[in-house]
Amino acid sequence: MILLCLLLVSWRVALAGGDNACETTYGGTCINSVFNTCLSGYTAYLGGCGFQEMCCIPPFAKGTPVPPLRAGQCGVTFPEQLPPSRRIVGGTLTARGEFPWQVSLRSFTNNGQHMCGGILISEKWILTAAHCFDQNKNPFAWNGILGEYDRGVTDGHEQLVKLDTLVIHSGFSKDYGNDIAMLRMATSGVNMYSQYVRPVCLPDKTEMFQGVTCTITGWGASHSGGAGTRFLYKAQVPVISSEVCSYLMDRTILPGEVCAGQKMGGVDSCQGDSGGPMVYFKDGVWKVAGIVSWGYGCAASYTPGIYTNVAYYRDWIDTVMTYYTGDSRKRADTTGVLYI
């Protein structure tokens, strides 16, 4: 069945002209959005096609203009040509702009080095893991780097944002229960959006992920205890049931957690990936299913990774964004930290 779907998508994408061509200035081919998805490396664009169709746009060459974000739009990407593949913890190198919601969180107390990942969800808010701030909860001591790809150089696509508020879930515990936090950017706006900086979509609170194959991204270590990577990498992991996960981890998996990983290991998030995204593609856009939280080692067999279930916390996220954004927002204390 999977092979059949791949063949159908390949056939549809291969038809570049005629009635299958997208009515856009960016090229691409229309495919049925109900039964098919775009090939890896292609961008799904909801426009320029007919009913229940989406446009699959080939990878963009560097410098090619991209469509501006419409109001409220999220989860749409325009990656550059994919570079030669290099592997890390079962993953591969991403293309620039392939995951434009990925954030690098850096702490002044660690010489400005990358400490955790983050997830851009709006022009004002970054979603991440609460445990990233165990050693330093002062938001003014952190910066967020948007549009980051190669940590070894500055290529002009990066945007440094200052942070003024850290919101930690009031139920966060040292055993990683309720491992979710949000950072408010001090200065921001939709004008910061580009090919390399775009928000991901949030899932509905009723969304279920069991059996869904998701993508994890980050600059984390290639093995347990190792150093972080220079470039942004990605890997695919299937979501497994909480019952199976609880058995494998010898620990009850909480409703606010989701478990993902390969049975025989070899693919996983690792140190430095914490707080980063686990995303999935649905209805023509990318949505965030999980936040990298915890695990035993990295990529070991029968040892999946544990992610904070974003759908479970959707109401909490909406509450934070509603009451702590804008001129009438409630103020954090002088430390800039809130527990909600």
Q: Nearest to residue 98, comparing CAs of 57, 132, 129?
A: 57
What whole-number distance in Å separates Cα of residue 72 and Cα of residue 170? 29
What local confidence, expressed as pLDDT, does residue 138 receive? Answer: 94
Q: Of 107, 114, 131, 273, which is the active-site residue?
A: 131
Residue 179 a catalytic site member? yes
Give the distance, in angstroms, between the CA of residue 259 and the centroid of all CA atoms in the same chain.
16
User: What average pLDDT score do residues 12-41 get?
Assistant: 64
What local confidence, expressed as pLDDT, does residue 100 receive? Answer: 96
Residue 274 a catalytic site member? yes
Please determine whether the domains at 102-198+315-339 and 212-311 fall in the same fold group of CATH. yes
User: pTM for this one?
Assistant: 0.78
Whether 73 shows a pLDDT value over 50: the answer reads yes
Q: Of 33, 222, 274, 293, which is the active-site residue?
A: 274
Q: Of 114, 179, 268, 269, which is the active-site residue?
A: 179
CB atoms within 10 A of CB 83: 13
Residues in the chain, total: 340
User: What average pLDDT score do residues 46-59 get?
Assistant: 73
Whether 66 shows a pLDDT value over 50: the answer reads yes
Q: What's the mean per-residue pLDDT of the chain?
A: 80
> Class assignment of domain 102-198+315-339?
mainly beta
Tokens of 72: 């409220």
3-class DSSP assignment, residue 194: coil
What pLDDT band is residue 87 in, cutting at 50, 70 and 90? very low
Q: Where are the domains of the chain?
A: 21-59, 102-198+315-339, 212-311
pLDDT digits (tens, 9 = 90+) for 194-218: 999 999 999 999 999 988 999 999 9
What pLDDT band is residue 99 in, cutting at 50, 70 and 90? very high
Q: Which CATH homologous superfamily contains domain 212-311? A: Trypsin-like serine proteases (2.40.10.10)
Q: Find out whether 67 and 53 touch, Cβ atoms under 8 Å.
A: no
Residue 221, CA atoms < 13 Å, CB-side half-sphere: 12
**Measured distance between the N- and C-terminal CA atoms of the chain, rounded to whole angstroms:** 45
What whole-number distance in Å separates Cα of residue 45 and Cα of residue 199? 15
β-bridge pairing 159-168 and 257-260:
unpaired
Q: Could you tell me how many helices (H) and strands (E) the chain has, helices first? A: 3, 18
CB atoms within 10 A of CB 123: 16
Whether 225 shows a pLDDT value over 60: the answer reads no
Contacts of 24 (CB under 8 A, 6+ apart): 45, 47, 48, 55, 57, 67
What whole-number distance in Å separates Cα of residue 102 and Cα of residue 275? 10
